[in-house]
Structure 1
Amino acid sequence: MAEKKDINPFLKQVLELGPPLAFFFIYLRLRDDNFVIGGTEYSGFIVATILFVPLMLAAMGILWYLTGKLSRMQIFTAFMVIFFGGLTAWFNDERFFKMKTTLVYGFFSAILGIGLLQGKSYLAYVLDEMLPMRDEGWMILTRRLCACFAVLAVANELVWRTMSTDLWVKIETFGFPIALMAFLMMQFSMLQRYMDDPDQ
């Protein structure tokens, strides 16, 4: 098992958030262009997607090298990006990459939901060491986060099917992550009474 190493928090944020931001700016630069590769014409969105995959893999590789560890969520997200990025390029169809977000959020909601049906919090299994909290608090947070992921999955479907690609890229890059972060911060504040005191 690889030894977990400390890493500068700012550098960690750059490696995690850098690739999505890079995709956003690459898309803005290429969105009005078309490219012929191997005799096939690709839109700027498709090319931005193709470039995003190695950027994300490089960032994850550096993160793994520096920390000695990748979370299950990071590994799953990387797989989804590679798979749907590949489908997007192979079929020359941007819908595959847009659907990826729906499936990622939907998968997280389904996994948490399966745990809830079993009377368990899979969220606690992943985060318990970083966030000491009593079982009751974990179950409440898991139910709420399960619902949140389901809402985000539905929201992504509505956005990409009814709105422009420009708007989807902006909401995908900024809207959904900010909404999820705000939701989590609100939940942690509301669930303070369930937190374990390490000094007791």
Structure 2
Amino acid sequence: MTETQAPKWAKPALEFGPILGFFAAYLWLKDHTFVIGGTEYAGFIVVTAGFIPVFLLSMAALWRLTGHLSRMQAVTAVLIVVFGGLSVWFNDPRFFKMKPTMIYLLFGGVLGIGLLRGQSWLQSVMEGAMPLTDRGWMILTRRLMLFFFGLAVLNEAIWRTQTEEIWVYFKTFGLTAAIFVFFMTQGRLFKEHGLPEDDKG
């Protein structure tokens, strides 16, 4: 399926809507306990169970509207199903809390494998969005790899040492803000290694 034009609001709404919905539902149900099939489930588990189909539906809608899902989105969806499903199945929130760690370790590891091969696999998926020289892509890939590994370590530290509510705030806002800040601090790299307009094609 070729990529089609979708309303500008659709992509961010479908990507961030489920995350914000998870956050709002958690604040609403965090102090509640539900008995389902004779088993008690904390609000966090119930919200996680609801988040999985909502996220998958949003990705399906995004694919329907744009005709495209990135590899990162597809991998994230799989890991959400796996780790979210494990949390619900075993009635243990730790699996879902580990999910960001696994995502960032995977992304960082993939970028690292590419670097060991002398390639920037980041360039293959983002070249159209940020035209850079080959050297610029290698530098950005190396930095992003280290950044992903740092986020994995940080997520482990937060969920293992802080309260569940603090982790939910961190997951909803902290991780998103960290990625935004990372790219904002790469301005010098984009300036020094950005391609002229004539070379962007």
TM-score normalised by structure 1 residue count: 0.97
CA distance in 1, matches of 2:87, 2:129: 36
Q: 1:7 to 1:79 in 2, by over 3 A?
A: same
CA distance in 1, matches of 2:130, 2:68: 18
CA deviation profile, 1:138-182 (whole Å, cap 9, x unmatched): 000001000000000000000000000000000000001111111
Counterparts of residues 1-150 of structure 1 (less than 5 Å): 2-150=1-149
- Mind listing any 5+ residue stretches in structure 2 that lack a counterpart? none
Shift of residue 199, structure 1, vs aligned partner: 2.4
Shift of residue 189, structure 1, vs aligned partner: 4.4
Partner of 1:156: helix, strand, or coil? Answer: helix
TM-score normalised by structure 2 residue count: 0.96
Moved more, 178-187 or 86-95: 178-187
Q: Does 1:161 align with 2:174?
A: no
Q: Which amino acid is 2:71 matched to?
A: R
Counterparts of residues 167-178 of structure 1 (less than 5 Å): 167-178=166-177
The runs of 4+ residues in structure 1 deviating greater than 6 Å are none
CA deviation profile, 1:43-82 (whole Å, cap 9, x unmatched): 0000010000011011111111110111100000000000
CA distance in 2, matches of 1:190, 1:140: 8
Q: Give the CA RMSD over aligned residues.
A: 1.0
Q: Which amino acid is 1:196 matched to?
A: L
